[in-house]
Amino acid sequence: MHLPAIPAPSPPGALKRCAGEKFICRKNEPKSSVSGAQAVGGVRGGLERALLIVLLVWAVAASAVAAYVYQQAEGLRSELSSAKAALAARESELRALRARVVLVNVAIDYGNGTVKWFNSTPLPQGATVLTALLCTASRVEYVYGKYGAYVRAVDGVEEKIISKSEGYSWLWYIFKEGKWAMGPVAADAYKLSDGDTIMWRYEHWKF
């Protein structure tokens, strides 16, 4: 028996003519993966560059914001320092002014059940009981006599002399040691101290 000859196998990548074809082709050639790796590397590089740009922009923006906040903080610190200095100066002025005034409590009893209080009334140093009345009442009528100022009317409530031994007059009192005491001298002769409490009272008198 005559067996047909078996052709020797072609080495990989060798050129051969395919049966029934008019062109030469390569068979069993492995596909190259270099182009795919390059594409992946290019995408990764692009992402890294984009990320670096974003980080750079963020750093610049953060620096600008930090600089703005710092400037604002410095401005506020300067304003606060100026305000503290102004407040200290004002407090010094108030202390100096406070040293030149006295605060007194003044009451006016009209003898008909109406009593008006003027608490913590500021008066200049050296103010008298008469000064306190002039600073609190709306209208005061007084004259100067042998012993000093004599009040005849307060806010339209006038002195009334019924006889030599009876009448209605304005008298002043000072609150000391827990009780009211009649003024020892004329109203213009008694100088008030800080914290004093006095009362002008329209009252009936009779001997």
What are the tens digits of pLDDT across the range 16-63?
A: 444 444 444 454 555 544 455 566 666 777 788 888 888 888 888 888
Residue 6 lies in a domain: no
- What is d(CA 194, CA 169) in angstroms, rounded to the nearest whole number? 27
Same domain, 90 and 47: yes
- What range defines the domain where residue 92 resides? 13-99
Residue with tokens 């009442």: 137
H or E element that contains 94:
helix 34-98
pLDDT confidence tier of residue 194, bands split at 50, 70 and 90: very high
Residue 115 lies in a domain: yes
Q: CA angle, 22 as apex, 21 and 27 as ends, to 5°?
A: 60
Residue 142 lies in a domain: yes
Provide the number of structural domains found in the chain.
2
* pLDDT at site 23: 44
Kindly tell me the burial class for residue 187, based on how many C-beta atoms sit within 10 Å of its own C-beta (0-12, 13-18, 19 or more). buried
Residue 162 has pLDDT above 50, yes or no: yes
- What is d(CA 140, CA 159) in angstroms, rounded to the nearest whole number? 12
CATH number, domain containing residue 112 = 2.170.130.30
Same domain, 151 and 182: yes
Same domain, 161 and 118: yes
**Average pLDDT for the chain:** 84
Calculate mean pLDDT across residues 156-172: 96
* pLDDT at site 16: 47
Report yes or no: 166 and 202 within 8 Å, Cβ to Cβ: no
Same domain, 55 and 133: no
pTM (2 d.p.): 0.57
Residue 170 has pLDDT above 90, yes or no: yes
